[in-house]
DNA sequence: CCTACCGATCGGTAGG
DNA sequence: CCTACCGATCGGTAGG
């Protein structure tokens, strides 16, 4: 019926996606409207028409990046059984999300949380909420693993979730610094150790026949 | 003899110190010359006279912040015996350095490393070098503790240093997000657990008589 | 979604 | 010829 509304939504989606990619490198404050417009081949004011202010764009960017994160990390891990298997599935999906550079600057959340952690306001609040959701998910799956006896009761689930997230986050920074993926393996091995999982080296892709296990 | 040279050094020192404080909140790219000039009550061009370009200023800021970090965290820990005691002294000094807000935005290194980890150049190289030095210091003291039997041989010293740094770094972000120091305690307890140290709650200040233990 | 602008401020540099 | 600043302004770009 109204083609303009449809086109507008598509533009907004493309802008938010481009913005998330840019923010993973330059930050949510460091990215500029001109930079986004140039990357998309549109005018700066078309972005300003879609999102009134830069803060509105930043909030939309956080929302889009959160969706991308959920799709890349959380959704795939839901195939694994609850408890320890799902925790390891989340960890492996997270490491692959970083290794595959779903965002060019590594994990969007790690980059923007440390950028905004000392800048109170709605952007920081949105990032903090996303972080709380991630930690809660990890913690709840750890708690299930602890109740079933697959994971040690010490440290408590919240603390272990904090530790796993810490190892992943710093591995992301180290990987960006060196463009080397060994920090990701280091983090994986440490997490496996802390979960009491044998430190089997991560399975390489394309060991199965094409289209095999899918 | 030449008062001007002396004055110049003092100005440079004051600018770099102010820049480190600003960068801990707004980032090394986010801080502006006008902001620094305003905070110091000097003109913008006096900063530009001291440091030719912004990148020169950023490099001087990293150097000044590194000195501050060494003075606040590393030097005090040298009083402790090598090995496990010094590792815990480094950890406690680090946590107090963050809690006392030596930099207003928490740890300068955490803030700027994640800002520059995807921006190749001399600034990133300087930050990465400071990080390597810190990890090497931690790792060498852990290795000494392992050789003396105070610290478990597993995980290896490098990995354990990576893990301790990860817990400290994420505690810094969480503390900034909430302006609550409980993440610092969480990290401290986890580190103590991983080092096999009893998780004694951190000693509160001013339990001794004024001027007592000093 | 465009061109055409604004007040302001960016990093950097001129002459004094 | 040096430094340490100043007020003013350069070309570009910020968000709106």
Q: Which two tokens stand for residue B197?
A: 């140290």
Taking each helix axis as running N to C, give the angle between helix B122-147 and helix B54-69, from 0 to 180 degrees, rounded to the nearest 10: 20
Distance between CA atoms of A172 and A184, rounded to whole angstroms? 7
- pLDDT, residue A5, reads 54
Distance to chain A for B130, nearest Cα, Å:
12
**pLDDT cut 90: percent of chain B above it:** 75
In the prediction, which pLDDT does B62 show? Answer: 95
B154 touches strand C (CB under 7 A): no
**Which H, E and C letters describe chain A, residue by residue?**
CCHHHHHHHHHHHHHHHHHHHHHHHHCCCCCCHHHHHHHHCCCHHHHHHHCCCHHHHHHHHHHHHHHHHHHHHHHHHCCCCCCHHHHHHHHHHHHHHHHCCCCCCCCHHHHHHHHHCCCCCHHHHHHHHHHHHHHHHHHHHHHHHHHCCCCCCCCCHHHHHHHHHHHHHHHHHHHHHHCCCHHHHHHHHHHHHHHCCCCCCCCCCCCCCCCCCC
Report whether B148 contacts A156 (CB < 8 A): no
CA dist list (Å): A179 to A167, A182, A184: 17, 9, 11
The sign of the torsion formed by the CA atoms of B196, B200, B205, B210 equals negative
DSSP B199: -
What pLDDT was estimated at residue B39?
87
**Protein CA at B45 to nucleotide C1' at D10, angstroms:** 14
Tokens 């060994």 belong to residue: A182
**How far in angstroms lies nucleotide C15's C1' from the CA of residue B58?**
27
Q: Looking at residues B122-149, what average pLDDT do you find?
A: 97
DSSP state of B156: -
pLDDT of res. B213: 39
B contacts of A176 (beta carbons < 8 Å): 117-118
Cβ-nearest to B118 among A106, A128, A155? A106
CA distance A123 to chain B (A): 11
Contact yes or no for B128/A127 (Cβ under 8 A): no
Q: What is the CA B2 to chain-centroid distance, rounded?
A: 34
CA geometry: angle at B188 spanning B103 and A96, to 5°?
85
pLDDT at position B200: 58
| Lowest-confidence segment of A32-36, A78-82, B32-36, B200-204 by average pLDDT | B200-204
Q: Write phi, then psi, for A126 (nearest 5 degrees).
A: -65, -40
Q: What does pTM read for this prediction?
A: 0.91
Preceding peptide of B113 cis, ω within 30°: no
Contacts with B140 (C-beta within 8 Å, 6 or more apart), sequence order: B157
> Which residues from chain B sit within 8 angstroms of residue A173, using beta carbons?
113-114, 117, 169
By C-alpha distance, which of B174, B154, B50, B152 is closest to B106?
Answer: B174
Which residue did the predictor score with more confidence, A161 or B38? A161
Closest A-chain CA to B119: A25
d(CA B85, CA B47): 43
CB of B27 within 7 Å of some strand D atom: no
Do the beta carbons of residue A90 and residue A77 sit within 8 Å? yes
pLDDT at B203 over 90: no
pLDDT at residue B110 greater than cutoff 80: yes
Per the prediction, chain B carries an average pLDDT of 90
Segments of chain A with pLDDT less than 50? 1-2, 203-214
Tokens of residue B92, six digits: 């406690």
Read off the tokens for B2: 């030449």
Q: Are B25 and B39 in contact (CB under 8 A)?
A: no
Q: Is any atom of nucleic acid chain D found less than 7 Å from the CB of residue B119?
A: no
B54 CB contact with strand C at below 7 Å: yes
Report chain B residues whose CB lies below 8 A from the CB of A170.
162, 165-166, 169-170
């Amino acid at each position: 019926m109204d083609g303009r509304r449809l086109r507008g939504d598509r533009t907004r989606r493309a802008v938010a996606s481009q913005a998330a990619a840019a923010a993973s490198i330059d930050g949510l404050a460091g990215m500029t409207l001109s930079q986004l417009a140039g990357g998309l081949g549109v005018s700066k004011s078309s972005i300003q028409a879609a999102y009134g202010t830069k803060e509105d764009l930043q909030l939309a960017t956080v929302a889009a990046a959160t969706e991308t994160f959920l799709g890349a990390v959380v959704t795939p891990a839901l195939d694994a059984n609850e408890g320890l298997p799902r925790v390891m599935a989340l960890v492996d999906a997270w490491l692959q999300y970083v290794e595959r550079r779903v965002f060019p600057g590594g994990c969007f959340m790690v980059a923007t949380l440390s950028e905004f952690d000392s800048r109170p306001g709605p952007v920081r609040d949105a990032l903090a909420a996303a972080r709380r959701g991630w930690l809660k998910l990890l913690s709840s799956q750890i708690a299930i693993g602890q109740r079933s006896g697959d994971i040690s009761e010490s440290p408590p689930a919240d603390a272990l979730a904090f530790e796993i997230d810490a190892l992943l986050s710093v591995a992301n920074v180290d990987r960006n610094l060196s463009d080397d993926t060994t920090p990701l393996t280091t983090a994986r091995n440490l997490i496996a150790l802390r979960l009491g999982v044998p430190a089997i080296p991560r399975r390489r892709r394309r060991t199965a026949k094409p289209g095999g296990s899918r």
